[in-house]
Structure 1
Amino acid sequence: MSNMYSCNPDDVKAIIHAQLQLIQSDPAQAQALAPLMLWGAPGVGKSTIVREICQQHGIQLIDIRLAQREPVDLRGLPVPNGDHVDWLLAGEWPRDPNSRGIILFDELSAADRTLQAAAYEIILDRRLGDLYSLPPGWLVMGAGNGMDDRAVSYSFSSALANRFCHLELQPNAEQWCLWAREQGLHSAVIAFLKYAPQHFFMLDENSERGWPSPRSWERVARLLSSSTGLNRHQLRIMVNGLIGPAAAVPFFGFWELEDELPNVNDMLLGKIPVSVPKRSDATYLFCAAITEQLWRGDKSQRAQRLNVFFEISLRLNSDFATMLMLDAMRDTSRTAAIANRNASLFGETMGNTDTIHPQRSAWLIEHPAYEQWTAKHGQSFANALAQGDLMPTANASNNVEAAL
């Protein structure tokens, strides 16, 4: 698929949101809308993106794996009825004319030509002969692996390929880290992938075993966050099985730096003196721990935590201080993100949903040490905002710009 423009997860989400918005505002457009075909290597998050969008919009998802079906499963079973034949349609097709959702033909490229042909009508014409028509509130999509992705894959016929709008999804470590924070995944995994993004996705000749991908890193993060009762050696075995030794060895070397770091929560509470790591790898881990702990705990401790936050941040170089401030200001609330994305269905412009939290940004900006912080790190921070690393909300934007 090298002749295609590649897109990151945010691009894909924006395109899907735009199509959902179009068929919501003008259902007549559904018939003319080109179905989306999402290409990408195994584990890059194709189906996860679609599933999350359906959850965020409160719409249905019908996931059809053609490679596990027979052609008759799509059109239905013929049943003799006197001098003619009736058809029993599969129960999964939506019947409510006002229903909304996405039909995802996942692993479409793993289906052979016979199965692809069986799906032509519903994908291309949104109907099954005279038997069934797909309600206009439904978006049709496909997803699959390319021929060079070391996965089961069949080429598309020209008729099928020419009807799709083809998108090639490329894994993006930075966006995955933002998503992982929103999900509350283990901070050591997030910090490691910020420090060493080259280990985020490594599809190689040993891909029949564990290898690093967005999917496998999520599993690592959830494993480390769970109360498994496993010791460090046993966790190492499992992580190695999930992402392979090429990524697991440097990850554990990085994670073990945590044992050398001071207790960040105690530092924020003023129980131990402020100190910052000298090594850059340890600083990534240190900053991730601060971000994780800053807004936790009793509200009465907020002033104390913020005092120490600024004391720490003023000791960091501008790159780390900017990263820390951006992470502290981010709105990682899933309810806020879902509300923002749902609003897009009613005519609001979709954009980067990684937004500044108005209240948190206000607490930071109004802190007495913020002026000193901007004197030291303000240019780096302004550059990061200009590059779109964070999108201020309407309320927070004026505060941030005025403070700079």
Structure 2
Amino acid sequence: MPLPAPVRQLDVAADLLALLGDSTTEPRADAQLEALTLAVSADLPVLLWGEPGIGKTAALNQLADELELPLTTVIASVHEPSDFSGLPVVGDNPAEQGVPMAPPDWAVRLVRAGEGLLFLDELSTAPPAVQAALLRVVLERRIGALTLPPGVRIVAAANPRSSAADGWELSPPLANRFVHLLWAHDHDVVVRGLGGTWPRAVLPKLAPDRLSDAVSFARRAVCELLAVRPNLVHQLPKTEARRGGPWPSPRTWDMTLRLIAFATAAGSSREVLSMLVRGTVGDGPGLELLASMDRMDLPNPETLLADPSAAVLPERGDLRQTVLDGVVEAVRKRPELARWNAAWALLVRALETGAPDLVVVPASTLAALRRDDWEVPAAIERLAGVVSLSQRADRAAIATGASR
């Protein structure tokens, strides 16, 4: 009998590697990936910020698979400026024909494909000269003499300067062209994935019947805020570090409007919308915009005063407080007995359907608006206990603080 051939250890190692790579997937909602997908769908350049090794590249590979786009990865930090602006090629008669700028091979492949996902990795370790060359790629989509077709989307990734090898802060002109998304790992996803089951992201879908309303809503949201806060139109941060992140400019407000329209058409959550808005104009202006959008759909105080019995008050406490304060302010501007009584009826309705403490301040303010010839409505009796209890609690808190 012939002896069996000896088993090569590398073959055994290959079998073990195959077993380690054998895994399954399960659908799982992912706010980060949804925000990234919406920005890519809106044809806006995206910059993912995150520590090394947390899965930024893996997310891009998954996104490319889900969108059925070929992925082209370019490590920005190992390229020269001419790799993005093009290399000069001298022809037979440069005086007549000029000197064309030859693009790199990866740009030619993207143009031939007509679509794709261009991934610019390690952007924060690219020196300023390379960042300057990338401006034209990101804004004009030009590389040398080539123009990237509309089907090509641009996504970049960067590590914070503290964890980047020889890192640089992004230049303000380059930073202002991106939607900045903070990328973090999910502990449960990592543990379950290492156990053999990785998530399969559920990508958002745009509803065709909501497109027109989404555009109207987005334009109204941005324009109403900037109309009353003109200083938010352009704010160049004072520090170098903040200039390398999201900040408001006419360009980023236009990007924000587009993202709100896409998020609205997709029915995205507030968490996703917050990521997109704050990642485009920054935390401060972004939070102001989100608060302004919350107030856009609040009921008109005059409508509530006209028919208190049919009033529908917001469930969220901060929004309900805003509505009640608006009702009292409306009565203050036009004090009439019927309107004063209607406001008390609204406060009773708020007491019956929400947290009692929300009516304390409006009730106290409304009581101070009473004219001498106005009779006290019966509704005040139902609110008196709440106001009295709140005042006693405030006095107790002051006394407790003074005794410490």
Which category describes the TM-score, using the shorter chain as reference length?
0.3 to 0.5
Q: TM-score, normalised by structure 1?
A: 0.40
Question: Counting helix residues as a fraction of each chain, which structure ranks higher?
Answer: 2
